[in-house]
Structure 1
Amino acid sequence: MKAIVSIENLVSQFVLSFWTPVFVGIFLAIVFYALRPRNKALFDAAAKMPLRED
């Protein structure tokens, strides 16, 4: 039995082969940015912002 080439199969393969690694890379970049020690003071200030009285 021959495999039928369809648009759904082509799109599925494209998504799996291209977009998944792109989004994993974006996710890892965001995690790396958030966990850098240089950004700790910035995130601490942002966390205290709702409790600050103006």
Structure 2
Amino acid sequence: MKAIIQIESLASILVSTLWTPIFVGIFIAIVAYALWPRNKTLFDAAARMPLRED
């Protein structure tokens, strides 16, 4: 029983110390991509797409 608790504790520490910074980095990369000035025209065109009449 004690070994199971130690494995769960190890898994919890691994998740909090390894995956959290990775996901924060991915989130920052996505926000930077969305706010990058070069992508403005692409996103503006995509925003107008539902309003176009083909």
Q: Which TM bucket (shorter chain)? A: 0.7 to 0.9
Map Cα deviations across residues 2-53 of structure 1 (whole Å, 9 max, x no partner).
xxx6111000000001000000000000000000110000000000001111
RMSD of aligned Cα (Å): 0.9
Query: Normalising to structure 1: TM-score of the pair?
Result: 0.88
Aligned residues: 50
Gaps of 5+ in 2: none
Runs of 4+ in structure 1 deviating by more than 3 angstroms, as ranges, are none
Query: Normalising to structure 2: TM-score of the pair?
Result: 0.88
Residues in 1 aligned to 2:30 and 2:16: alpha-carbon distance in whole angstroms: 21
Structure with more of its chain in helix, by fraction: 2
Residues in 2 aligned to 1:28 and 1:37: alpha-carbon distance in whole angstroms: 16
Gaps of 5+ in 1: none
